[in-house]
Structure 1
Amino acid sequence: MVRQFGHPRGVAGRVVGQVLAHRRSNRQRNRWAVSLLDVRPADRVLEIGFGPGVAIAELAGRATRGHVYGVDHSEAMVRLARRRNAAAVRAHRVHLAQASVDRLPDFGEPFDAILAVNSLGFWPDPVERLRRLRDLLRPAGRIALVSQPRCPGATRDTTARAARELQDLLAQAGFTRFRVETLDLEPPVACVLADNPAAPE
């Protein structure tokens, strides 16, 4: 069952999806992360690893004239997220695909913001993946990486270390203007925000 949280599939994967969708701390963490991204009505936004689609719904509620895209490697999560966001999917404002972060589809135009909540730990070669995501952002576009450590005995110090690691990965990938925010859950949640550097004049 623990493995299902990394790649939910089948009946057990649907159970995991329901747990993630209804656990109060998960909903709170996702809504908080979205609030930090400062999504505007006309923005194009991408979420990597959207799970049951809680943050997708929050993003769609803010990008009311824009478009929200999401990729998740779990077919079970794609089905759950499409159900949760059915009206926005029908209106062609939300676009969800089964894909992995190392095999992203073509999204067309650049994004204004990118979000990943508790998924980077499953990415192969995260620095290279972050470089690719930076290529998908417009100049001065925003990224938010969220981590709530789930290892046994995780503390505030564990969260602080996770935030430093995320910031280091983002720096290696060429992002700048870092900001770290913390949500006081048990254990605390860290969100590291950064910008894609503006193109030189």
Structure 2
Amino acid sequence: MNLLNRLIEQAKNPNGIIGSFMLNIMNTAHTEMNKWAFEKMKISGNAVMLDIGCGGGKAIQLMSKINTYGKIYGIDYSEQAVKDSIRANKTDVATGKVYVQQASVTDIPFPENEFDIITAFQTHYFWSDLENGIKEVFRVLKSEGSFLIIAEKYKINYHMKSYKTKEELEQLFKKSGFNKVEFYENVNKKWICMKGFKIDKV
């Protein structure tokens, strides 16, 4: 396995010292994009939120600052990511505001209609089964809730064989049950945020 493939594998499923190092790099590198994406969210002060593929826990830190009295959950396929995310949010974990566990997006360990907002930062292109992952997200999302995928466009183009375009992703969201879909791009068009809404039909 060459160096590039090793780095990609560590980004996908961080483990050990190298994995922890990668998580620290990603925490720093993604901060500005994450802040930009949070501008697209309407977060109440007591929302129940889930971050899928929580990595090193930086997005959860940002959520906690905005979501003053709510609950924030994180899941990640990587055991190392869970450890690092808990460490990065140790105060909130200690008080019970934040809870992080190892889990897969294709089998989210929560009941139906549990979360107001669900996020996936720089992770959906690594999911083993995107279609079932989106369906699972829809299942655990509350009515009137929203799900946001945030990513750098070049990573989508590099890693994904399908669902690269806005049209393909919108079709997938609507097939999974989302009634309304919105897209945002930053000024230089390097980042994309896709927001799906679960709205009860009248």
The TM-score with structure 1 as length reference comes to 0.86
Distance 1:2 1:125, change over 3 A: closer
Question: For structure 1, which runs of at least 5 residues remain unmatched after alignment?
Answer: 155-160
Q: 1:167: how far off?
A: 2.1
CA distance in 2, matches of 1:43, 1:105: 19
- The corresponding residue for 2:192 is 190
SS in structure 1 of the partner of residue 153 of structure 2? coil
- The one-letter code matched in structure 2 to 1:167 is E
Measured on the aligned residues, the alpha-carbon RMSD in Å equals: 2.3
User: 1:114 offset after TM fit, Å?
Assistant: 0.5
User: Offset at 1:64?
Assistant: 1.2
Matched, 1:102 2:106: yes
Q: Structure 2 counterpart of 1:125, which letter?
A: D
What letter is aligned with 1:194? G
Q: Which amino acid aligns with 1:195?
A: F
Percent identity between the two aligned chains: 24
Q: 1: distance between equivalents of 2:96 and 2:120?
A: 22
Cα distance, 1:60 vs structure 2: 1.2
1:1-201 equivalences under 5 Å are 1-23=7-29, 26-106=30-110, 110-151=114-155, 161-184=164-187, 188-198=190-200, 200=202
What residue in structure 1 maps to residue 3 of structure 2?
Answer: none
Amino acid at match of 2:197: D
Is the CA contact 1:111–1:141 (under 8 Å) kept in the aligned structure 2? yes
Cα distance in 1, alignment partners of residues 97 and 185 from structure 2? 30
In structure 2, distance between residues paired with 1:52 and 1:107:
25
Instruction: Give the AA of the match of 1:117.
Output: F
CA contact (8 A) 1:17 1:52 kept: yes
Deviation at 1:81, TM superposition (A): 1.2
Q: 1:142 to 1:165 in 2, by over 3 A?
A: same
- TM-score, length of structure 2 as denominator length: 0.86
Structure 1 SS opposite 2:13: coil
Q: What count of residue pairs does the alignment treat as equivalent?
A: 192
One-letter amino acid matched to 1:175? F
Q: How far did 1:2 drift?
A: 2.3
**1:106 Cα deviation (Å)?**
2.6
Partner amino acid, structure 2, of 1:176 = N
Question: Per the alignment, do residues 105 and 164 of structure 1 end up closer, same or farther by CA in structure 2, a change over 3 Å counting?
Answer: same
* Unmatched tracts of structure 2, length 5 or more: 1-6, 159-163
